[in-house]
Every structure is written in structure tokens, then in C-alpha cells.
Structure 1
Amino acid sequence: VYKWNRACYGITDGKPHLRIENRVLPSGPTIVDEVANAAFWLGLLHGLPPEYEHIAESMDFDEARANFLKAARLGLGAEFVWPGFQKRIASTDLILKELLPIAREGLEKAGISPADQTHYLDIFEARVRTGKTGSQWLVSSFESLKKEAGLHDALAATVSGLSRRQQLGQPVHTWTLAELSEAGSWRHRFQVVRQIMTTDLFTVLEEDTVEFVANIMDWRNIRHILVENDAGELVGLVSSRNLIKYFGKIKRDNLPHCVREIMTTDLTTIAPNTPILDALTLMRNKNVSCLPVVVDKKLVGLVSERDFVRVWEEVFREMAASNEEDLKPEKHF
């Protein structure tokens, strides 16, 4: 059994100390959320009804273990086996109908002021009712940003948005989702290739048919598809230009042809930390429309003309916003 509450010895500024570490509390993500979590937990301990004192007599250990794992994996979406309930109960119903009243009574017994009880447990209740936890905010913000930006921008905006909202100190259930503008200036976001490259890639094998590859490119609306061998190493690339040449000149029979017959094998590749300007210059000098990004012969991404169009769209949008700000009349007091 993992010891959630345990004694820890440490040294701070040269002074040894012993502390009790209560690891059961989830992170805030703000101080007020963290205190609300503590109020709920400590209220439960003080208000624990008699039927919970010998929980092992009413709940099997395997059921408790399953509850623990479901809570860790699903959060507020979990359902539990719980004493006093014949059917599985949703975590939100369990908290709102059973546990929160116990916690309120427990804080009353502990002599916590009514104002503090209401303030912190109301925050906890609002989080449960809205389903807006810190982890859910992170997931929702990141997934929303991924639809309009690259991986690096989405991560940067999410982390920056989290930090800014933490400093404001408002409970997480009141937060708006992170916005792309929070990722910072393009001067910091667009320096090296890994910040803009596409990582959600479709790859094929040398033995796959050309018709199969053509269909994938059509379904996914992409102009390039990368070819790997059985060891997962990059060995070639099929572009829309290859397909045009194939269907226009090569295919003269009804026999299936393999990707190996038409793919480009003389590839120019780059590393993830290649400066963006260097990559753009290389594409122009080599007259290619994309560059595979490789680490130890393993494909990790692709940077293409489409990525640069997206980058420049964001740069011009930021520049336009900056110009509008500069054109605003000055206020004189």
C-alpha cells in the first residue's frame, strides 16, 4: 500500500527538519484551488461517519483498488463501487450528494469559520459541477490550439496561459481556454525547424502500391508522403509530382506498381534544431517543396511550403496588429 501520508526528512538552508507530507492532494493549479482541495479532504476526515470507520468490512480491497485506478485515469468521469449504493455511482454524484455534505460537517466540527467553509468548499463544488479541473483545462486548451497551430506553438501557448492564470489566482473553474496569442512573439516561436514542423505524419512502405499511396494523399489532402523500410528508417518520398509522372507516363498496363518504382530516394534531410532560415534557403537552393526532419535515420517530422505559409500568416497577422496599435492616437492627460 502506497504511503500517501509519510514522514520526510530534509535539509533546507543547512537546517535539518522533519515534515509530514500529505501527497493525496491533487495540484491546484492555483493556491485557492489547492486550499479548497485541502478543505475538502480535511473536512472528510473530521466528519467521517461511523459506517466509514471500518471500511474494509463493507468494501472489498479489489473494489477499492479498482476505484483508485479509475479515479486516476478518468478523473471526474469515473464511476465507483461505493458502500451504501447498490449500483455504481458517478464520481460527481458521489462528491455532491455524499462527500461534500460530510466535508462541510467536518469543517464545522473542526471549528473552521463559516465564511472559510463556504468560500473553499463552494470553489470545490463549482469545479465538480462544471467539470473544469486543472488537468481538463490543460487538455482542452492544448487540443483546441492544435487545430490552429503547430505542436510547439500549442504547447507554448498552453504553458504560458497556465502561468498567467495561476498568477491571477482565480479558481480554475472560472478560467477561459488558452489562446494562441499567449504563445509569445513570433521572434521566439519561429527560430528552429522543430517549432514549425509537422509531426502527425502518414508513412508507407516500399512494397505498398502506388494506387494505395495516391488514395491516402487524396484522403488526407497532402502533397507528400514519406516511405520507410521495415526498420523504420526513411528511404524515400512520394510527391504529387511523382504521381503525375506515374499516371501520365509510366503506367501503361493494368498491373499494380510498387512505391519503390516511383519514389524519390535522393533526399535532402535536416535536423530538428536547424534554423528556420537555413531550412528555407536549403529548399530554395535544392528546388524542393519539403524537407524530412530526421534524427539517427529515424523520421521525426516534415517541414513543407505549407508550414512556411502558416508561419508567415501568423507573422503578418502579428505585425498588422502591432501596426494598428502604433496608429492609435496618443492619449494626453
Structure 2
Amino acid sequence: MTLLVSLLAAQSAYAQDTNITSKAFMRAALTVMTFDYFATKCKQGSGFAATDAAKIESWQTANGVAQIRDRLSDLNRHPTQKQQLDQAVAEITQKIERQYVNIDACTVALSVSKLPDAQFATISPQLLASVSNPPKTPKKVERTPSNTPAIVSSQSDAKTVAQIDSFGFNSRPKMGIGGFIALDIYPVVLFRNGDVLTNVEGLSFSGGLEAHKRANPDEWTRWRRQGGKLQLAQKDGWEALPFQTTYPKLPNNFKLDGFFRSLSGTGTVAIGGNQSVAAWEDYRFSADGRVVRGNGAGGSAESGGTAIATSSTAPNQRGRYRVEGLTLYITYDDGSSERRILITDPKDPKSIIWLDGVSYVRRKQ
């Protein structure tokens, strides 16, 4: 969302069309476009439940969503704002979909419609007046950002695992609470060809590892063994990895035990708003091989010291899991399945795990 800071920078240059380039319209456009994206995904799947569809139709009618949507094409006259707005929407949707392969699009869309900043008739009545047209029936949403990444498939995971030599852990300094310098320990992946991935989120990059390397060359380096030491290539030469133990696979009959959650979110603070949208995915693993997966989305806003929150949670899926090598296999009771690359410290698997490079932190509940 930081790229939205400059959305209004060129506003004075377009004074002849303040309705479209105003802060109120840009915030509304961001909300509507984000909703449209996930609503489209929802309709391509099972679609909204009847009660949710009625709520969304009421929201769109009461808040002039169709009129706002109709005015989006006017942004073509302001290419700078349009490009930055498109990038902002892509950033939000990519961040959620990249981290949460199985996130329920209907849940996210419904949560967006409930946000206080989505109630345009209440917070921006002047905006509705400026876009007022004869009421129209909301059109079927078909817009989808062209640069949205595809969901990473289990087949690509299998191909990636075949290229991995082992994984280990590196360390780096980071600013801690109160300004103190703390030590951040993070995983790295060593590949058979001598490459090293220093940001394991690259494992889930759309387009695969080579595409990630081209897009993020600073997150890759080389490794070697020299004098009995595992070394990584740095700017100033080769340096020994501080933790020399690496793992070509996880132990046989390896089990997870605990509740792990990954959380992602965004908001409109950068453009003067006070709303946030969050999505989460969690797994509850048991040592007996059972697993329960859940996900959901929610939103919140603060105004005048009052906090408002909404949330929706998708039904849980239950099944069984097993770990073989570096792969987590899950078979759910409904017949569906998934396969993820699993990285964790086998000596301390209760703190954090990485699934396809996305971190899941162990929580009490």
C-alpha cells in the first residue's frame, strides 16, 4: 500500500476533473475494484450464498456502487492515477492469493462490502452526488487484473522439491522493540545447482523459481563447501553460514503438533482512510496425523475512538496429513487434497513452519 502515497500527488494538475481525482473517489475506487475482483472469483466458483447475495445487492444499491463503477473508465484520462490505482489493487489481491492458496473469495468480497469505508452513502454523500446518474442495475463484474499470479499447483511443488539439496538457517540483525538490535533467524534453501534462495517466499512465486530469480535477483546467491564449512557468496566474498546444520529432508515419521496461523492484510491509511482488510489461513495439526484447516477474512476501522470490526470465516476442512521428505501431504475427508513444501526446524517445530515459503506462526488458539 505504500505506493498509494503518491496517488494524490498530481491532483492539482487535474483540477478540471476533481470529482474523479479526489481523495474520496480514489478511496472508493480502490474499495470497489477490490470487491469486484473477489466477487468475480466467487461467482466463478460456488457463488454467494443467497443471504450474502442479498446483503451485497443492498450494499451496492444503497451506496451507488454501480455509479462509481461506471465512472472508473473516466480514469483513462488520468493515466498516472489509473496506473497507480491498478497497481494498488493488484498488490492487495496478489498478497492475499499468493499467501492463501485456498482462501474463500466469497468471504473476502463480503468482508470488503461490510467495511465502514465501503459505506459511501454515509462517509461521502458528496461523492454520490458527484457521480449521480439514474439508478442502474449492478452489472456483472468481469474485470480481473491481468497481472494476478496463478495459484501454485502441487505439480510445481514436486518439481521444486526435486531441485532442492537441503535447507538451513541464516541470521541477520534487525531492529527490535525499543530500538535494540535483535537477531533474526530465517530459513534458506540450497539447490542442487549451487543456487541459494534467501527469501523462502520465492517457493510460491507465480511463474516458478526462474521467474522469481529474474524478478528478485538480490534474493538469490550461491553456496559451496570449502574447508569443511558451508559458505554463502556475499558482496564481500564467501562467508560461513552461522548454522552449519542443514536438512536434506525432515525426519522419518515426522509429526506436527499445534495450531499455526498465517495472517496477511492491507489498508487505506496511505490515502487518508482508516480501514483495514485482513485474511488468514490456519492449520491445527495433531500428533496422531489429523489436521483441521480453516481460513477467513475480516475488516476493521476506527473513528473518533470507536472501533468497528467485521469478519467472515469459511467452514473448516478436516483430514489426515503425513510428511515425506520435504513434502506435506494432506487428504481431506471431503476427498480433496493438497501438497506443500514444508520447512521447519525439526528440533523446534512448535515455533514456526513455512508452507511453500509462507510462514505460519504457532498460536495458543
- Output the TM-score relative to the length of structure 2: 0.24
Task: Return the structure number with greater relative CO, CA threshold 8 A, min gap 6.
Answer: 2
| Larger proportion of strand | 2
Q: Which is higher, the Rg of structure 1 or of structure 2?
A: 1
